[in-house]
Amino acid sequence: MNKTVAKEWLNKAWHHLGSGKILYEANHYTDTIAIDLHYAVEITLKSFLAYENKKIIKSHDLIEIHALMQDKISFTDNELELMDIISTYHIKSSYPSIDRKLPSREDIKEALDLLDKACKIMDIDEEEVMR
């Protein structure tokens, strides 16, 4: 186990999550918030790979990344669906398009709790990450 490296990844995730929270509270555009949240979730999931000293894959697909550590962190069907929505939005819809659907504020709110869950699983003090 490598808590030091996992903390570094979680700290970077916190930066994106913090931005997302500020923008959410300011009732900012959900498409902009979704990009920060995607990176926060992606980097949080990759922190589990770092924790286990595994290779960090070069992918933005949250479901694919989660599959590599599903024995370490489990998600409800609703959470997995939300990760799929976030991935699809980031990978396919983050650039302007005619039929682009913006993420809902409800979906954004749900995605804001992952970092806390990850810290608890890896027994990492959340205060150390939020610097």
Average pLDDT over the chain reads 83
Reading the block at residue 100, the tokens are: 């682009």
What pLDDT is stored for residue 42 in this prediction? Answer: 92
Name the pTM for this structure.
0.80
Does residue 112 carry a pLDDT above 80?
no
Residue pLDDT, tens place only, 19-42: 988 998 898 888 788 888 889 889
Residue 117's H or E segment, with its range, is: helix 114-121
**Rounded-to-integer distance, Cα 23 and Cα 36, Å:** 10
